[in-house]
Amino acid sequence: MVNNMRRSGDARLRRPRERGASVAVNVRSQSSFDEWALVIRGDITAPGVPEEIVNKTMQHFGRVDILVNNAAHAKSTRFPNLTAEEWRLALEVNMTAPFLLIKAVFPIMKAQKYGRIVNVSSSAGRTVSTLGGAHYTASKAGLLGLTRAAAKELGQYGITVNAVCPGMIDTELTRENASPELLERLAASYPVPRLGTAVEVADLICFAASEAAGYITGASLDINGGDLMM
């Protein structure tokens, strides 16, 4: 089950499908996934929607093994221009919605004695955002704290909780917030001198969601071309 609010999440949906998973996805409006995924439309920040997503997924498939919290709000706004409303929206999408989805899916995974939860955070959550601003940095750092706290409490039920922290990835969202010239300069400064790809991020998510990652929990898995080494 993936919450995904932008086209740049396509690879993060298709990769699990290619590996045999049945996929449910939350989108706000239209999608290209209807032929092969259970599409659940709704605004993830609206009251009751996270619980509805989990309930519909359970009704359709009979179980929920994996939750990927993929939705993101990342409008590039500098601190002097940042409004309280934009701050609130970033926290609702990037931190509160994942919390509510984890809460909703927990009883199911507990009963199954198995679950994989993957929160898509960011390098911004590990240090500071290059493009996204204070609201993005704070919300993604908060998501890492949620990841660790949930991992500590849910591990006894067979549930792992990890975060994937992409750096500068070549996506629609990235290109909306930065000029081609800036992206070229940034990429050239990395030890691996290029932008990452959505498929590379999807592969890391698939690993974190797999049985092979059963002894990994509470981790922040970096994928940033060496831009941040911790």
Q: Classify residue 229: in a domain, yes or no.
A: no
The reported pLDDT for the residue numbered 65 is: 97
Q: Classify residue 176: in a domain, yes or no.
A: yes
Q: Classify residue 89: in a domain, yes or no.
A: yes
Nearest to 68 by CA among 177, 207, 173, 196: 207
Output the CA torsion sign for 180, 182, 188, 192. negative
Better-predicted residue by pLDDT, 72 or 220: 220
Task: Read off the tokens for 168.
Answer: 């500068």
Nearest to 58 by CA among 100, 116, 1: 1
Q: Classify residue 25: in a domain, yes or no.
A: yes
Model pLDDT for residues 47-93, shown as the tens digit of each residue = 999 999 999 999 999 999 999 999 888 788 889 999 999 999 999 99
Tell whether the model's pLDDT for residue 21 goes beyond 80: yes
Q: Classify residue 20: in a domain, yes or no.
A: yes
Q: Classify residue 65: in a domain, yes or no.
A: yes
User: Can you give the residue range of the structural domain that contains 124?
Assistant: 2-223
Number of domains in the chain: 1
Q: Of 136, 157, 190, 215, which one is the catalytic site residue?
A: 136
Model pLDDT for residues 155-183, shown as the tens digit of each residue = 999 999 999 999 999 988 788 888 999 99
Confidence bin at 32 (pLDDT 50/70/90): confident
CATH number for the domain including 127? 3.40.50.720
Q: Classify residue 215: in a domain, yes or no.
A: yes
The reported pLDDT for the residue numbered 175 is: 87
Q: Classify residue 230: in a domain, yes or no.
A: no
- Considering only CA atoms, give the Rg of the chain: 17
- Is 190 labeled as catalytic in the residue annotation? no
The reported pLDDT for the residue numbered 17 is: 76
- pLDDT, mean over the chain: 92
Task: Read off the tokens for 197.
Answer: 């790809």
